[in-house]
Structure 1
Amino acid sequence: MRDSVDPCPKSAVSHGVGIAGLVGLGLWTLVARHYGMDGPNAGLAAVVACGLPMVLWSLMVDKVHRNASTGIDWHGPARPVRDVLDISIVKIAGLWATWLAIAIFYCIARWYWNGNYRFSMDLFTAAAPWLLALSIPYIIWIDRRLVHPKDASYSFGQWVIGGAAGVPDMRQVAHHARAWTVKGFFLAFMVSIVPGNFANVVDWRIEEAFANPVAMAGFLIAVMFMIDVCLATVGYILTFKPLDSHIRTANPYLAGWVAALICYPPFVLMGGGGPLDYHAGGAEWDYWTQGSGVLQWALGGWLVLLTGIYAWATVAFGLRFSNLTHRGILTHGPYRWTRHPAYLAKNLFWWFSALPFLSVSGSMTDIVRNCAMLALTNAVYYWRARTEEQHLSADPDYRAYSDWMERNAPVPRFFAWVTGRKRPAAAVIQAAE
């Protein structure tokens, strides 16, 4: 009844696209488990297995390629190649220069050549010749259909080439640089953790997973993390206008970048031994619940639920997941309960899994420090959420969604009740006289 009186703004992504990805990933996981395929290439195949159904659903069911937000005109005849060739050459030059800059960064940053990152580097090295070759026909093809082919990529190409290509729009140059910085930094990380997360699920013996509540919770949590990682990786890869999954804007605020980067390697502050490490002298939840099946079922089930919400928040993005970017406003799934379901779920998960208020050594100092460090970690994620809202609020669609959430969503209404903050009233729509 509430939705009919105060309807939620339409979501940029459908429920179906994420579900299609889940089905594809689930089927491939079953095949991999049956044949014992747990290597890095099997993990990479899992990304393809969930990405391909999402692409097909997006094009064949949602028909996202016909959205006005793609900037593509499918109705009229395509421009002749000769009319767009000069533009395309400038864009290709800009794109190749972008990839060169990312490659140089990878070469200089030594952490990319050790550990899990090495798989990402090997994959990117193998893919580079194909990307260079395929980028030429793709850009010419898309430029023939774009309403405004002189976009951010074109401005960046102008900046790279210099005066002969014209004066670039520096705002567009900055947008291009930010968007590709996001993709270059986070895609390498996501690809690096795909094999491990996939192998964790494939290698888990079912009889062991059902042996006790702790094992079952561990297995289900591993499944949720695999779902999150695989679908998020698809999102970073498929930033294409024909899929309407391109990056509209990347966060222009320095605070947003700082808040995000300190949560990821090599800048992460919350990892083991880091400044915000909240595990010193402590133990995980399974240690404290030993001997109590009831506690193990209750706490394990709660942690699985929180991880499920976290994974659901990624699934809801479909093809559009990526940090620090605006790729369309989501208003469905868990985003109808809270603006930041993933942050809320993962921060609660950390409190209930690490139990920082308990210490193996019995040291009150460790307890106070761990609670303080986890509270600071929570503050970092609150900071991230606020910078994301600041970025997205430039879009009137997000402002409409945010206002609706304040009036209707359970989590904002709960916090409004706790703090005594008055909720905004819905706008009254009157018929024309």
Structure 2
Amino acid sequence: MLQESAILAASPADTRPASAVSHGVGLAGLAGLLAWLAIAHRLGADGPWAALVGVAACGVPMVLWSLLVDRVHGHASTGIDWASARPWRASIDISLVKLTGLWATWAGIALIYATGRFYWEGPFTFAMWSLERAAPLLVLLSIPYVLWLDRYLVEPRDGAWHAGAWLLGIAGADPEQIHAHLRAWAVKAVFLTFMLAIVPGGYGAFVRMGTGNLLADPVLLANWLITLMFVIDVAFATVGYILTLRPLDAHIRSANPFMAAWTAALICYPPFIMMDDGRPFDYRPGTADWTHWMQGQPTLLAITGAVLVLLTAIYAWATVAFGLRFSNLTHRGILTHGPYALSRHPAYLAKNLFWWISTIPMLSTGTLVDAARATILLGVVSGIYYWRARTEERHLRLDPAYREYDVWIERHGLVPRFLRWARRG
């Protein structure tokens, strides 16, 4: 969403601020993922391993595009100065302290996973299986990575160093830096496991879907396209949570420091989710989906299906636009292109419109009370997403680059302009 440097501090309000991510990186990832999905569909390549290959097919082209075409490793916002390498002896002490802080953080996350029974049930067992096998490799690779990168970092004493210094009793540990470090890793700990948990399910559902009668059945076509869009969204999001690396300029500049933002976000995801079946904001009892109410009306089915596909496409497009940088609750660079040239929160807007149109809570298979309850609860869910949007903006407005984008989008964005027109009407 944000970029901490180089974004037009003095550009006129009528000029769109530059985007932290190019169009090309997202298109490269999309092309790689679609190519794998075509192969997988033809071969019937189902299962968790095939799903992870899909994530790799999405991520590798984006990494290559970022390094070879966009040359992001040369951006000042990486905090890296490739022309000024320190001698090994000048940085190794810093690196060892940093590794101490990093490994202690990982150990704390592992303890939380091991303690939480939730993480060893249902689809999360695959996430734990994946992380168990990746952990030894990550520990080993972190040694050469940190030793190498610290030679080039403008300021190698980052949050991991401050955490390590505090643990080792070294003077100079800054509590604010430690808190920022822990918040950033908390984001990865919560959301990466969720993404890994849902990757196989959506991927498998798409690969197994038949395509023989798509053009003759608007409902089948709509569901096929919607499933595809969600596969794209999940793959890009998973890549984003994995590749938070400075040489890719995809690191976390800051994680949201406001408790309200964490509360609003976490109640939308397991294990804290409040909208799931049987939870307080479950609006689905007494409802039926759009196909139930429109059965026997082929034209209405086709139009509604097309609208739902469009909304899902906007939702997926908003994730693709991030390229390598998708993440909740973080500042990783301003996006001003694609759907973010139309709205500050295109994904939230599209997602909530999708729920209202696909559920139609005002209609009920039960009683008027069920309809009223479903409508009120879905309204609460939409209100939570509005709350999320506002808390995210509060974080991002700490950066002057976002404030500039905020002025521009309010003036030129399609959605803000429409809302102004509606209020005048």
Which one scores higher on RCO, CA 8 angstroms, separation ≥ 6?
Answer: 2
The equivalent of 1:60 in structure 2 is 68
- Deviations 1:221-258 (Å, cap 9, x if unpaired)? 00000000000000000000000000000000000000
CA distance in 1: counterparts of 2:422 and 2:292, whole angstroms? 33
Pair 1:110-2:114 in alignment: no
The equivalent of 2:138 in structure 1 is 131
Structure 1 residue 4, shift from structure 2 partner: 9.5
- Deviations 1:90-143 (Å, cap 9, x if unpaired)? 000011001100000001111110110000101100111101100000000000
The equivalent of 1:415 in structure 2 is 419
Structure 1 residue 31, shift from structure 2 partner: 1.1
In the TM superposition, 1:6-405 aligns within 5 A as: 6-76=14-84, 78-161=85-168, 163=169, 165-361=170-366, 363-405=367-409
CA distance in 2: counterparts of 1:32 and 1:280, whole angstroms? 36
- Which residue identity is paired with 2:397? S
More moved, 274-283 vs 379-388: 274-283
Q: List 4+ stretches of structure 1 deviating above 4 A.
A: none
The equivalent of 1:424 in structure 2 is none
Structure 1 residue 5, shift from structure 2 partner: 8.1
Q: Secondary structure at the match of 2:323?
A: coil
Paired residues of 2:13 and 2:408 also in contact (CA < 8 A): no
Structure 1 residue 74, shift from structure 2 partner: 1.3
The equivalent of 2:7 in structure 1 is none
- Deviations 1:280-304 (Å, cap 9, x if unpaired)? 1110001111101001100000000
CA distance in 1: counterparts of 2:222 and 2:352, whole angstroms? 18
CA distance in 2: counterparts of 1:399 and 1:334, whole angstroms? 18
- Deviations 1:339-370 (Å, cap 9, x if unpaired)? 00000000000000011011112x11011100
Unaligned 5+ segments in structure 1 are: 422-433
Q: Secondary structure at the match of 1:132?
A: helix
CA distance in 1: counterparts of 2:384 and 2:418, whole angstroms? 22
What TM-score do the two structures reach when normalised by structure 2?
0.96
Structure 1 residue 151, shift from structure 2 partner: 1.2
- Deviations 1:184-211 (Å, cap 9, x if unpaired)? 1100000010001111111111114344
- Deviations 1:403-422 (Å, cap 9, x if unpaired)? 0011111111122233349x
CA distance in 1: counterparts of 2:267 and 2:354, whole angstroms? 19
CA gap 1:35/1:6 in 2 versus in 1, 3 angstroms: same
CA distance in 2: counterparts of 1:204 and 1:233, whole angstroms? 22
Paired residues of 2:256 and 2:392 also in contact (CA < 8 A): yes
CA distance in 1: counterparts of 2:268 and 2:191, whole angstroms? 11
- Which residue identity is paired with 1:329? I
CA distance in 2: counterparts of 1:235 and 1:126, whole angstroms? 20
The equivalent of 1:425 in structure 2 is none
CA distance in 2: counterparts of 1:275 and 1:34, whole angstroms? 42
- Deviations 1:16-40 (Å, cap 9, x if unpaired)? 0000000000111111111111100
CA distance in 2: counterparts of 1:401 and 1:334, whole angstroms? 13
- Which residue identity is paired with 2:83? H
- Which residue identity is paired with 2:56? V
What's the % identity of the aligned pairs?
56
CA distance in 2: counterparts of 1:296 and 1:74, whole angstroms? 57
CA distance in 1: counterparts of 2:141 and 2:48, whole angstroms? 25
Q: Secondary structure at the match of 2:212?
A: helix
The equivalent of 2:6 in structure 1 is none
Structure 1 residue 167, shift from structure 2 partner: 2.7
CA distance in 1: counterparts of 2:136 and 2:285, whole angstroms? 47
CA distance in 1: counterparts of 2:204 and 2:149, whole angstroms? 38
Unaligned 5+ segments in structure 2 are: 1-10
Paired residues of 2:13 and 2:407 also in contact (CA < 8 A): no
- Which residue identity is paired with 2:370? D
Residue correspondences, number: 415
